[in-house]
Amino acid sequence: MHSSHASMTAWGRASAILRVTSGNFLEQFDFFLFGFYATYIAHTFFPASSEFASLMMTFAVFGAGFLMRPVGAIRTGRLY
């Protein structure tokens, strides 16, 4: 069975692995920082009438960002 796609060279494979690894690292680091500073973000951006509600709204924003990962993968996955 012949494939119509050209096989990757060792350099191309290493380059792809490096790009994927660095992208995943940056994304997870971003989520870590957001979770770490969630209380400060809640206090700054949401109403102070209820600390619990402010924190839950902050985590809802965190969850929305996490749920958008598959949409971004579908949208930009075929660029390379």
Q: What is the pTM of this model?
A: 0.63
- What is the tens place of the pLDDT at every residue in 25-69? 998 899 899 989 999 999 999 888 888 999 999 999 989 988 888
- What is the tens place of the pLDDT at every residue in 67-79? 888 888 888 877 6
Q: How far apart are the first and last CA of the chain?
A: 24
DSSP string of 11-68, one letter each residue: HHHHHHHHHHHHHHHHHHHHHHHHHHTHHHHHHHHS-TT-HHHHHHHHHHHHHHHHHT
- The domain segmentation of the chain, as residue ranges, is 31-80
**CB-CB contact of 58 with 67 (8 Å):** no
- What is the tens place of the pLDDT at every residue in 2-29? 555 667 788 888 898 999 899 889 988 9
CB atoms within 10 A of CB 63: 10
